[in-house]
Amino acid sequence: MLNEPVIISRMLHHGQVITPTPDLLLAEDDVMQFVATKKLMEKVKLLVGSEIDMNLRTIPTSNLISRFIVVTRKEVTHKRLGNIMELQHEALTISRIKRAGIEMVAHGNVLLQLGDTITVVGTEDSVNEFTNLVGNSLKRLEAPDLGPIFIGIVFGIILGSIPFHIPNIPVSVKIGMAGGPLIVALFLSRFGNSLYLNNYTTNSANLMIRELGIALFLASVGLSSGHNLAGAFVDGSGYRWIGMGIIITMIPLLLVGLFAKKFLKKTYFEICGLLAGACTDPPALAFALKMAGNDIPSATYATVYPLTMILRILAAQLLILFFA
């Protein structure tokens, strides 16, 4: 019935708050605290029972504590959580893992990465033992590892320079300087653990690279188009192009935004990331992130951005070849 991972972080069993074990026999009046997605929680209620208003953390007889622990030891990275026997403890439950601002339910198939923040619930001794095994040394994370980033840029430029031949088209097509690094970045993000690459970058270094990239992008756009700007307004064509640009930009965004809100039931910040990704607009994403105060827009942005970017690169070249 439940096809997704569900975690019982703690439970009230015979008047005592404990961390559950696989061989524990449930009683009728047991109270369990679940960690799962909102959609899955409805199935949990049908399977287990109704929801009640009780906070197990405030019960005086509880000897359990909750702590956020950061993965900093290389010995436990690039390994599945369920395969690390040293981390399995009866008096401790791993409930959540937070990575790049996105929180997920902890389960045995999760590959641990450097910088992951793990939420654990257990006795103080078991939590301290878990902390020593995982690391939790913030000093280790202060030194940014920029090697994988520049490796990805180099291989991305090489990939973007390779011509692809499409049947019945006389000229080859390239995915360019934007598409190449994007595909390599997706590959490293997905298979970096298999290659034992550390994809973690400190938040400050990540923000610096992001802001620097946006600044350079906007500067290049201004320098390449600024010398024609005055002439376009003098002969009157500039106003026509601005009007057409507003129509082409606003109407699709409004239609997609209304559709996502009304029919797909997406939140405002999810829609912001979706529209920014569909327009391949990093400045819009930066504005949405600053306005949201969280990384929710990044998730939908990263979902649609790769396909949109590659299709735009290929479509622009194909349109020129077909209609030139």
**What's the length of the chain?**
324
> In the chain, which residues fall in CATH 3.30.70.1450?
7-140
Instruction: Tell me what pLDDT residue 1 has.
Output: 55
Cα distances (Å, whole numbers) of residue 276 to 102, 154, 253, 288 = 19, 26, 9, 8
Note whether 64 and 121 are within 8 A (CB).
Answer: yes
The winner for highest mean pLDDT among 63-67, 178-182, 294-298 is 63-67
The set of residues, in sequence order, having a beta carbon less than 8 Å from that of 185 and lying 6+ positions away, is 152, 156
| Listed range (26-30, 54-58, 112-116) with the worst mean pLDDT | 54-58
3-state SS of 77-136? CCCEHHHCHHHCCCCEEEEEEEECCEEEECCCCCECCCCCEEEEEECHHHHHHHHHHHEC
pLDDT digits (tens, 9 = 90+) for 288-315: 888 888 778 888 887 888 788 778 777 8
Residue 206 has pLDDT above 80, yes or no: no
Q: What is the pTM of this model?
A: 0.69
User: Which class does domain 7-140 fall in?
Assistant: alpha beta
pLDDT digits (tens, 9 = 90+) for 34-53: 988 777 888 888 888 888 88
Q: Is 141 helix (H, G, I), strand (E, B) or coil?
A: helix
Is residue 228 within a helix (H) or strand (E), and if so which, with residue range?
none
Residue 254 has pLDDT above 90, yes or no: yes
Q: Which residue has the higher pLDDT, 235 or 261?
A: 261
The set of residues, in sequence order, having a beta carbon less than 8 Å from that of 142 and lying 6+ positions away, is 202
* Angstrom distance (rounded) from CA 27 to CA 20: 12
Residue 227 has pLDDT above 80, yes or no: no
- The whole-chain average pLDDT of the chain stands at 84
- Listing from the earlier edge strand, what are the strands of the sheet with 7-13? 16-18, 7-13, 31-35
Average pLDDT over residues 166-191: 79
Q: How confident is the model at residue 71 (pLDDT cuts 50, 70, 90)?
A: very high
Q: How confident is the model at residue 61 (pLDDT cuts 50, 70, 90)?
A: low
Q: How confident is the model at residue 245 (pLDDT cuts 50, 70, 90)?
A: confident
Tokens of 277: 């990704």
* Angstrom distance (rounded) from CA 111 to CA 305: 24
| Listed range (86-90, 130-134, 150-154, 265-269) with the worst mean pLDDT | 86-90
Largest alpha-carbon pair distance within the chain?
Answer: 84
**Cβ neighbours of 174 (radius 10 Å):** 16
Q: How confident is the model at residue 2 (pLDDT cuts 50, 70, 90)?
A: low
Tokens of 234: 């003098």
Average pLDDT over residues 125-145: 85
Average pLDDT over residues 198-226: 80
DSSP for residue 25: P
Residue 203 identity (one-letter amino acid) = N
Measured over the CA atoms of residue 211, residue 213, residue 216 and residue 222, the dihedral's sign is negative
